[in-house]
Amino acid sequence: MSQALAIPIKTAERRDALPRTAQSEVRRSQRLPELDALRGLMLVLMTLAHLPTHAQVVTNQQLGFVSEAEGFVFLSAFLTGRIFGRIADESGFPAVLRRLWKRALQLYGYHLFLLGIAFTVVATVAIHTERPGLEGLLDFYLAHPIHAVWSSILLVYCPPLLDILPMYIIFLLATPIALYVGSRWSWKLVLIPSGLLWLLAQFGLRTAIYAHMVQLAGVKIPLNEMGAFDLLAWQFLWAVGLWIGTGSSGSTFKVLTSKMYVIAALLVAAAFFFLRHPILHVQLDGAPWSGLIDKWHLGALRLLDFSSLAILFAVSKSWMARWLTIAPLVALGKASLEVFCAHLLFCFAALSLAGDSGLPVWIQSALVVTTLIGLYIVARLFVSAKTGALWNKAH
- Report whether pLDDT(234) > 80: yes
Length in residues, the chain: 395
Given this model, what pLDDT does residue 31 score?
64
Position 3 in a domain: no
- Report whether pLDDT(223) > 50: yes
Give pLDDT tens digits for 287-304. 667 788 899 999 999 999
What stretches of 185-285 show up as alpha helix (H) in DSSP? 188-202, 205-217, 231-245, 250-256, 259-276
Position 2 in a domain: no
Stretch 6-18: mean pLDDT, rounded? Answer: 40
Given this model, what pLDDT does residue 279 score?
61
Contact 166, 115 (CB under 8 A): no
221 falls in which pLDDT band (50, 70, 90)?
A: confident
Number of domains in the chain: 1
Distance (Å) of CA 116 to CA 123, 132, 148, 162, 343: 10, 20, 12, 12, 16
Position 1 in a domain: no
Stretch 53-70: mean pLDDT, rounded? Answer: 85
Position 154 in a domain: yes
d(C-alpha 239, C-alpha 248), whole Å: 12
Given this model, what pLDDT does residue 288 score?
63
Position 200 in a domain: yes
Position 331 in a domain: yes
Position 4 in a domain: no
Instruction: Give the angle subtended at the CA of 25 by the CAs of 24 and 28, to the nearest 5°.
Output: 85
Given this model, what pLDDT does residue 338 score?
92
Stretch 361-377: mean pLDDT, rounded? Answer: 93
Stretch 242-265: mean pLDDT, rounded? Answer: 86
> Range of 209's domain?
9-394
Position 389 in a domain: yes
Distance of CA 285 to the CA centre of its chain: 24
Contact 5, 33 (CB under 8 A): yes
